[in-house]
């Protein structure tokens, strides 16, 4: 295994040829310049074994890959590893009105769609470049045991959709930006050591946590930043009435509105949502000014938000 990994990195730097790696069916390389096994990411994904018994790793060389990428439900145990998060870029520009497929057009606007369990990505950028034109998803995840490490996820409204009733998803050391509801959905998703960058006066999160789920969106040790001129941002609002969102030990800029949370014009949701904070800091953390239907957690309550307790039998690890 060590030999295979070393050989692949030699290929990334042009020191050996793609033909020399043909025997490694669980590892392949994508390169726009033709120096790898495939020129597009989707071609590599489509050529992988369905439901493999061991992990398949697709290494992606630096380049701008303008394509809608779909990881099908049968592409389980798949990793996409970029050469660098700044220069390995998956990009597209679909948006709600452009798709024009009715009221659910949002869910067709993705740049990357993950439907397969046990997916992992790292060292790459996923972006939707449609601009400020309404709903335009960059990353749509609808699978269980999915992880992202050291990635940039860029967009405006609805940048990241974390979906799947009971699905567990993990984001570590990622940079995520957007305007309105730029992290939204029903999954149990943990964001650790991430930067959340607001590009407009709006809302960071819009959880739609099912009533049966103990956890929704959990942010640990994150930084909340904003573009120049952005001064009025809420931590979240409930897309559905049992939304659960918690920020722990995170640093908040002064763009965060003192009230912190919004009820989306649904006063009845104030009795069903769970919005909590613990150990936060920065000029945007004003515990005494938060809405009275949110929660400032005790130390004992905060200690229940460990990965083991949130994810249960899924042991998150780099893939």
Question: What positions carry a catalytic annotation?
Answer: 158, 181
Count the alpha carbons within 13 Å of 92 in the hemisphere toward its beta carbon.
Answer: 20
Query: Rounded to whole angstroms, how far apart are CA atoms 49 and 110?
Result: 24
Asked if residues 127 and 154 have their Cβ atoms less than 8 Å apart, the reply is yes
Categorise residue 316: left if φ over 0, alpha if ψ from -120 to 50, beta otherwise: beta
Task: Give the CA distances from residue 219 to residues 12, 59, 175, 243, in Å, rounded to whole numbers and listed in that order.
Answer: 34, 29, 13, 14
> H or E segment at 310?
helix 307-311
Non-local (6+) Cβ contacts of 127 within 8 A are 89, 90, 91, 111, 138, 152, 153, 154, 155
Are 57 and 27 contacting, i.e. CB atoms less than 8 angstroms apart? yes
Exposed / middle / buried, residue 272 (Cβ in 10 Å: 0-12, 13-18, 19+):
middle
């Amino acid at each position: 295994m060590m030999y295979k990994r070393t050989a692949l990195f030699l290929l990334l730097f042009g020191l050996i040829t793609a033909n020399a790696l043909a025997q490694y069916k669980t590892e392949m390389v994508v390169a726009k310049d033709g120096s790898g096994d495939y020129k597009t990411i989707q071609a590599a994904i489509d050529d992988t074994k369905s439901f493999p018994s061991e992990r398949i790793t697709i290494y992606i060389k630096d380049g701008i890959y303008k394509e809608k990428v779909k990881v099908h439900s049968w592409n389980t145990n798949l990793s996409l590893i970029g050469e660098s998060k700044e220069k390995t870029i998956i990009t597209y520009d679909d948006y709600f009105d452009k798709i024009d497929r009715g009221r659910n057009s949002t869910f067709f606007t993705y740049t990357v769609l993950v439907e397969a369990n046990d997916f992992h990505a790292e060292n790459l950028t996923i972006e939707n470049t449609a601009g400020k034109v309404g709903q335009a998803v960059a990353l749509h995840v609808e699978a269980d045991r999915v992880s992202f490490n050291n990635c940039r996820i860029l967009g405006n409204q609805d940048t990241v959709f974390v979906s799947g009733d009971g699905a567990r998803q993990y984001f570590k050391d990622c940079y995520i930006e957007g305007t309105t509801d730029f992290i939204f959905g029903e999954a149990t998703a943990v964001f650790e050591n991430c930067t959340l960058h607001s590009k407009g006066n709006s809302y960071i999160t819009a959880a739609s946590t099912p009533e049966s789920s103990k956890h929704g969106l959990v942010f640990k040790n994150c930084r909340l930043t904003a573009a120049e001129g952005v001064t009025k941002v809420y931590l979240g609002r409930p897309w559905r009435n049992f939304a659960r969102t918690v920020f722990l030990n995170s640093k908040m800029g002064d763009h965060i509105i003192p009230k912190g949370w919004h009820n989306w014009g649904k006063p009845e949701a104030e009795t069903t949502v769970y919005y909590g904070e613990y150990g936060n800091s920065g000029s945007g953390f004003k515990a005494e000014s938060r809405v009275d239907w949110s929660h400032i957690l005790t130390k004992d309550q905060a200690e229940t938000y460990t990965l083991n307790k949130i994810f249960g039998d899924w042991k998150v690890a780099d893939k």
